[in-house]
Amino acid sequence: MPDTLRIAVPTEGSGGLDAQRSAHFGHADSFTLVEIADGQIVGGGTLTNPSHTQGGCGATVMLLASAGVGTAIVVGMGGGPLSAMNANGMTPMFDDQSPTPRAAVEAFLGGRLVPFGAGNTCSGH
């Protein structure tokens, strides 16, 4: 893991470290951004997810890429955003257990998450 990293976690409502996580990447209301330095949470913020009709999940991936996100911790997303993340040098991680962004990031830092792969993708909605 690099010395500094920006992680995005899909969230319900306006987001935040203790917000409820969103189960689907493209339809999340917001993304909680978590800054990691030397293996510790040092800051963060939130981004509002653009409407799914304004470019679909591709617009969401580009929003996160432009915000400097290197890793996203997700429960579900389709193959399109997975490919777009990989093409933009982002690392998606799978976590369907953590209820909040804080818990998801702690699981990531503890090495308890696995890469999000094709076997985790949703088939569409």
Q: What is the pTM of this model?
A: 0.90
Percentages helix, strand, coil for the chain (3-state, rounded to 5) are 30, 30, 40
Q: Is 21 helix (H, G, I), strand (E, B) or coil?
A: strand
Whole-angstrom Cα distance, residue 7 to residue 87?
Answer: 17
- Whether 120 is covered by a domain: the verdict is no
Domain that residue 104 falls in: 4-109
- Whether 115 is covered by a domain: the verdict is no
The C-alpha angle with vertex 98 and arms to 48 and 26, in degrees rounded to 5, equals 35
- Whether 121 is covered by a domain: the verdict is no
Q: Is 117 helix (H, G, I), strand (E, B) or coil?
A: coil
Token output for 31: 């993304």
Domain of 52, CATH number, reads 3.30.420.130
Q: How many domains does the chain have?
A: 1
The pLDDT of residue 1 is above 80: no
The pLDDT of residue 44 is above 50: yes
pLDDT in tens, 99-122: 999 999 999 999 999 999 877 777
- Whether 50 is covered by a domain: the verdict is yes
User: In the predicted model, what is the mean pLDDT of residues 62-89?
Assistant: 92
User: In the predicted model, what is the mean pLDDT of residues 79-99?
Assistant: 93
What mean pLDDT, rounded, does the chain reach?
A: 89
